Amino acid sequence: MKSVTLVLTPYNTYWYHNSASQEMLILGGFFISNFACGYREYQDWKFDDSQNASTSSNCTLLEKNEGLIVLSDLYSELKKPTQVRITRQNFVSLCDEWQEKVCKHKPKEVTIKHENGHFPIEVKD
């Protein structure tokens, strides 16, 4: 099982505590740098195929590809950058769960796991 753990900083933002893989670092980076608690920016994009097939922000490139959301490091120097591939529905569920568990309650620690194609979030106060 892969995971990334993020901790609440004194500035009321999240930062990396540890990660089991580059993929999970990318996913954690998306939530702490790009998404934060700005869910509405990605709300329409992820399902509207008439909108651009890709978008990016601080450090993460997101692409819609055959029913998947593909996240990668925007500044990767690798010929084949590491990617995180998530079904659109799992991406929506993950964003909803982040909004509910993290944005509303600001727990001291957040762990995102990757289990059988799903990405559950666990929090600790």
* pLDDT score of 49: 65
* pLDDT score of 39: 60
More confident position, 58 or 30: 30
Full DSSP string of 26-65: HHHHIIIIIITT-THHHHTTTT-TTS-SEEE-SSEEEEEE
Residue owning tokens 């600790």: 124
**Model pTM?**
0.86
Q: What is the pLDDT of residues 63-121, one digit of tens each?
A: 888 888 899 988 888 888 899 999 988 988 998 899 999 999 999 999 999 998 899 99
Q: Which of 88, 85, 110, 100 is nearest to 32 (CA)?
A: 110
Q: What is the pLDDT of residues 7-42, one digit of tens each?
A: 999 999 999 999 979 999 999 998 888 777 766 666
Range of the domain at 62: 2-124
Mean pLDDT of 51-67: 78
Tell me how far apart the alpha carbons of residues 32 and 13 are, in angstroms, rounded to a whole number: 7
Q: How many domains does the structure of the chain reveal?
A: 1
In total, the chain counts a number of residues equal to: 125
CB 30 within 8 A of CB 71: yes
